[in-house]
Amino acid sequence: MRQPDVLMKVKEILSVSYLFLDVEADFHTIVPVVICKERKSGLICKVSAGNENAFQTSSYLSALGKMNHLLLPLVLGLRRWAQLCEIDRPEEGGLPPHVFALMVIFYLQKRREPLLPTYLNQGVSFKHISCGRFIQPESKVYLLHFALC
């Protein structure tokens, strides 16, 4: 199935779901998306297909959300605040939605007693990660590949 076909199917499914409002597709952007509003929170959701960066970011956020139950409510609260202040609209000069999640993650990592692990500091914490290994690609940058086992 090709990318436009996948997105059309996603649009079709979300359109009949009670959980989402205002479902529309935007295929004229650099990364084609289906845009909808989550009924309960009013937050805007964007779904893309074949976007590896978005997939990796979503996987990272999901893994961190499983590590600490505070992450999701804090992110949703900050996103709601940003929506009320109208600073969550990148097309109007605001910030993209995932930035608010990254702000909360940064805060939870940098507290005096961190609630989430940090990966780029010298004091790497693995207490929440069951399986993890460092990968050194051809560059001199170390990447941490982890899975919650």
Query: Are residue 58 and residue 96 in the same domain, yes or no?
Result: yes
Total domains in the chain come to 2
3-state secondary structure of 117: coil
pLDDT tens digit sequence for 93-148: 889 888 898 899 999 988 888 888 876 654 444 444 444 444 444 544 444 444 44
Select the highest-mean-pLDDT range: 29-33, 69-73, 141-145.
69-73
Candidates 75, 47, 79, 77; CA nearest to 61 is: 75
Per the structure, the complete domain to which residue 72 belongs is given by 53-110
pTM greater than the 0.85 cutoff: no
Please give the structure tokens belonging to residue 43.
């937050």
pLDDT at 27: 84
Tell me whether residue 34 is exposed, middle or buried, using C-beta atoms within 10 angstroms of its C-beta: 0 to 12, 13 to 18, 19 or more: buried
pLDDT at 89: 82
- Specify the higher pLDDT residue, 133 or 49: 49
Query: Are residue 42 and residue 58 in the same domain, yes or no?
Result: no
pLDDT at 26: 87
User: Band of the pLDDT at 20, cuts 50, 70, 90?
Assistant: very high
Q: Tell me if 88 sits within 8 A of 76, measured CB to CB.
A: no
Evaluate whether residue 62 is within a structural domain.
yes
Query: Are residue 40 and residue 70 in the same domain, yes or no?
Result: no
Strands (E), 6-128: 20-26, 33-38, 44-48
| Segment 72-78 mean pLDDT | 89
Evaluate whether residue 116 is within a structural domain.
no
